Homo-oligomer: A and B are copies of this chain.
Amino acid sequence: MTKSKIWFATGNKHKVVEAATVLAPYGIKLEHYPLERVEIQADDPADIAAYSLQQVSDSRPLCVEDAGVSIDRWGNFPGPYSSYVLERLGNSGILKLMQGEQNRKAHYVSAIAYRDESGVHIFHGTVDGEIAQSIRGTNGFGYDPIFIPAEGDGQTFGEMPSEEKNKISHRARAFCALAEWLTK
């Protein structure tokens, strides 16, 4: 299964930079495959990623990722609709929903659907944490400025340097799992 280069189909360049950094130490080069993908409505990001991957007919080794943040108090909202909800409500809308809430637990999930000549393979990554009381930090993207990972020192992902975020993030973990499998 050893590959020295794979493609990442996404419309989000931030994700490519993050993932490329994770794959580099494994000797795997990640190329951006620009794609505005068709996303289905489903609860499992693995289903969404796998469906989007199906829509791309290209024989090169290729992956699609779907990610989201899930908030306990609101039944795992926004989950698979994280990017839509972020566009509309923003982090300030999420903070409004969380006003006065005791249970602030949340987790970030990443699912990768990867396809090569051997078929389609799914890889997951998760990081637990909680929703901050305010927007903090300008690193990262998405919900990073309001997400405090449980394994950190209380900083949000938005406050962490990217090297630090890349050690524990959901996306880093999913791409590590893919890299381990690709190089085993």
- Chain A contacts to B: CB under 8 angstroms: 38-41, 74-79, 81, 84-85, 87-89, 93, 96-97, 99
Docked CA distance A96–B89 (Å): 13
Docked CA distance A39–B84 (Å): 15
> Is there an interface contact between B97 and A96, defined as CB atoms closer than 8 Å?
yes
| Given A41-B39, A41-B40, A81-B84, residue A74 in contact with residue B97 (CB < 8 A) | no
> Is there an interface contact between A41 and B81, defined as CB atoms closer than 8 Å?
yes
Docked CA distance A97–B78 (Å): 14
Q: Kindly provide the distance from the CB of A119 to the nearest chain B CB, expressed in whole angstroms.
A: 22
| Given A39-B41, A40-B40, A40-B41, residue A76 in contact with residue B88 (CB < 8 A) | yes
Closest to A96 in B: B97
Q: Which of A38, A40, A84, A97 has the most CB of B within 10 A?
A: A84
Docked CA distance A17–B157 (Å): 48
